[in-house]
Amino acid sequence: MPEYALDKRHVDLGDKHIHSAKTFRRGRIIVFLKQLQVKRSTLMQQLQQPEFKSIEQVISGELKAVDEIIQQYTHLFELRAAESGDDDPTHPRGDL
């Protein structure tokens, strides 16, 4: 039965595919988290610059929102500081 042979082959290859897909997703998760951290860093710098004084409340609100997203993201995906590149002790740690 050719259909069964295809299924069996798919299962055998599927284990490798699942592992590589998991690694790929993990990489994408970490890249997105690093992008959030760059955004956070930029907002922190803007808070220190006098030319942004007039919109300080807006920047502060954005910073709080980004911090919350980072915390939720690291908790949801159980990221550790070593993977995310973040040394902030307020961020949850775990294994992905």
Decide: residue 74, CB within 10 A, 0-12 exposed, 13-18 middle, 19+ buried. buried
With a pLDDT cut of 90, the percent of the chain lying above it is 48
What does the pLDDT read at residue 44? Answer: 98
Distance CA 33, CA 88 (A): 13
Q: Which positions of the chain have pLDDT values less than 50?
A: 1-13, 83-96
Only one residue has tokens 């908790």, namely 75
C-alpha span between 27 and 24 (Å, rounded) = 5
What is the DSSP-derived secondary structure letter of residue 91? Answer: S
Rounded distance between C-alpha atoms, residue 27 and residue 12, angstroms: 24
